[in-house]
Amino acid sequence: EDEIILFEREIKEFWTKLKSVYGTEQISHTLALRDMCKESIKVLSEKWSKKLKEEDLMIDKIQEYSNEILQKSQRISENQEHLTEIKSNLSQEEEQKKDLTDSIRELKEELMKKREMVSSKNNATKERVERLCKSKELFEERLGLEIRRIHNEQLQFIFRHIDHKDPDKPYMFTLSINEQGDYEVTSCTPPLDCIAELQLKVRETNKFSVFVANIRKAFTALSYK
């Protein structure tokens, strides 16, 4: 626009000089040329002004698209980071799940082994108790012994006819089978000093009838004191 104003000023100066030199006809012709020139300049100015506005709009639009693309790129980057975090968490959860599954499997296997061991010990204990009960008649007949099954799979052995002064006086001990499958005397009335020794010996020899006979002998010796 400044250039157009300057150009118009120069045209006016030129026109003033021209009038002083040339005649009216020449001036009229020059005026026509001037008007044509001004019209051309006006059209050209409007054309370029419109083009500049369109370019400004295009630049604004491009900038808007650039900003939108940048925002989308940022969102995509954030989504990728979030996706990476989710994948990492899923991987950790899968590892924890695997570890938990392995631990549960190991616990189940250990529990099954313990159940088998307990079942085996219980069966062995029941078999030994049954064998002892089957020997009941023999012990009662030969040793004057009464055998009772009491709580917790224990057996109570009651001797009579030991004290000649009081034949009905009971001498007794209670026997169980411990977790290791060994015989264990849990009580003895009256107490015998040799009970621990006799208990150890029956564990070594597994001769139960000899063990019962030796306890009766110990009770008999105690009755004479």
Q: Are 156 and 189 in contact (CB under 8 A)?
A: no
In a domain, 24, yes or no: no
Domain count within the chain: 2
In a domain, 176, yes or no: yes
In a domain, 155, yes or no: yes
In this structure, are 117 and 148 located in the same domain? Answer: no
Q: Which domain holds residue 204?
A: 144-224
Region 33-56: mean pLDDT is: 80
Q: What is the pLDDT of residue 1?
A: 67
In a domain, 114, yes or no: yes
Q: Which candidate, 35, 15, 13, 38, places its Cα nearest to that of 27?
A: 15
Region 29-53: mean pLDDT is: 79
Q: What is the pLDDT of residue 159?
A: 93
The torsion of the CA quartet 74, 77, 78, 83, rounded to 10 degrees, works out to 160
Q: Locate tokens 């990492």: which residue?
A: 88
In this structure, are 121 and 149 located in the same domain? Answer: no
Whole-model pTM above 0.75? no
Chain center to CA of 11: 91
Question: If you ran DSSP here, which 8-state letter would residue 23 be given?
Answer: -
Q: Which amino acid is at 70?
A: L
Give tens-digit pLDDT for 83-141: 888 888 888 888 888 888 888 888 888 888 888 877 776 677 677 667 666 666 666 66
Q: Are 173 and 183 in contact (CB under 8 A)?
A: no
Q: Are 145 and 139 in contact (CB under 8 A)?
A: yes
Angstrom distance (rounded) from CA 215 to CA 194: 9
In this structure, are 155 and 215 located in the same domain? Answer: yes
Residue 184: partners with Cβ closer than 8 Å, 6 or more residues away:
175, 176, 177, 178, 199
In this structure, are 194 and 155 located in the same domain? Answer: yes
- Triad 147, 173, 195: Cα angle to 5°: 135
Give tens-digit pLDDT for 151-187: 888 999 999 989 888 988 999 999 998 888 899 999 9
SS3 of 129, please? helix
Among 142, 168, 186, which residue terminates a domain? Answer: 142
Residues facing 122 on adjacent strands? none
In this structure, are 179 and 197 located in the same domain? Answer: yes
In this structure, are 122 and 151 located in the same domain? Answer: no
Least confident of 37-51, 100-114, 174-188, 204-218: 37-51
In a domain, 150, yes or no: yes
Q: How confident is the model at residue 189 (pLDDT cuts 50, 70, 90)?
A: very high
Q: What is the pLDDT of residue 157?
A: 94
Please give the residue that has the higher pLDDT: either 197 or 51: 197
In a domain, 77, yes or no: no
207 φ, ψ (degrees, to nearest 5):
-95, 90
Write the CATH number for 182.
3.30.457.50
- Is the pLDDT confidence value at 22 over 70? no
